[in-house]
A and B are shown apart, each in its own frame.
Chain A
Amino acid sequence: MPEILLVIASDPFAVRAALGQILDDPCMADLRSDLRARAEIVLAEVLNNVVEHAYADGPGEIILHLRCVQGGVICRIRDFGRAMPGLALPGGAAIGPDPVELPEGGFGWHLIRCLTEDLQYCRRDSRNELSFRLPETARAH
């Protein structure tokens, strides 16, 4: 089963480079362009959240594991930084009639929640683990 395992530094330029590497990987190159676009959006948000929040205090490593399976891409992202506040995923910021009023950071989690399935977070042995599936076919919005 085609898979990608990457370890990257917690840095926005390392995130950018990793996204390029993932999308160029043979495992991802054959996917439909819509799924590739969704993968890039979601992985950018997830990885940049780790850089900005989990590793807000300093450097660290982010471990990515992606598996291309029948029906989509299964992703697991681990880091050794700060836990999510309350050990839970931030609430799904619903976008109201005036999207501009969405609190800072709300766009990112909104995008992740729109584009993933089976989104799960757990904290184990001083480690954060976020897992989700990018479905083959996008949900209607």
Chain B
Amino acid sequence: MELVAKETGGLLLVQVLERRIDAASAIQFKDRMRDLANRTAGNLLLDMSQVTFLDSSGLGAVVAVMKLLGPGRKLELAGLTPTVDKVFRLTRMDTVFVIHPQLPESLRDAS
């Protein structure tokens, strides 16, 4: 599970460099995200633009990361590809997370 993290403007930008967050990789994703989240105190922005597929295990892992951040910190998402976007909409998770169509312009160079 390759994740690249960069602190920028008080925000931890995490780019997922994997094609799939699925039953085979969800636990690894959650563990790696927990390590990254523990290194910083701010909010997280997850760049999902390289992820072409996410199943219910992957979705559960993203929700678990949000929960482990606690109420004081936020996990926002950016760049959902069509199938991933469909899974978020069908499970109404699009109402739970702030989802940016793409990375905010100010952060594009950072990734």
Contact = CB atoms under 8 A, between A and B. Distances in A.
A40 B86 CA distance: 11
Interface residues of A, number: 28
B83 A40 contact: yes
A101 to B, nearest CB: 10
A13 B24 CA distance: 6
Nearest to B53: A40
A37 B63 CA distance: 22
A104 B91 contact: no
B24 A12 contact: yes
Contact of A99 (B56, B82, B83, B95): B95
B36 interface: no
Contacts of B59: 107
A104 B23 contact: no
Contacts, number: 65
B92 interface: yes
Contacts of A108: 55-56
Give chain B's interface secondary structure class.
Answer: helix
A111 B24 contact: no
Give chain A's interface secondary structure class.
Answer: helix
A128 interface: no
A111 B56 CA distance: 8
Contacts of B79: none
Contacts of B95: 99
Contacts of A37: 82-83, 86
A141 B24 contact: no
Interface of A: 12-13, 15-16, 33, 37-38, 40-41, 44-45, 48, 51-52, 95, 98-100, 102, 104-105, 107-108, 110-111, 114-115, 141
B86 A99 contact: no
Given A99-B91, A100-B96, A114-B90, A41 B23 contact: no
B23 A12 contact: yes
Given A16-B24, A95-B92, 10 more contacts: A12-B23, A13-B24, A33-B82, A48-B23, A98-B96, A105-B56, A107-B59, A107-B91, A108-B55, A111-B91
Interface string B10-31: 0000000000101110000000
Contacts of B22: 12, 15-16, 44, 48
A44 B86 CA distance: 14
A48 B90 contact: no
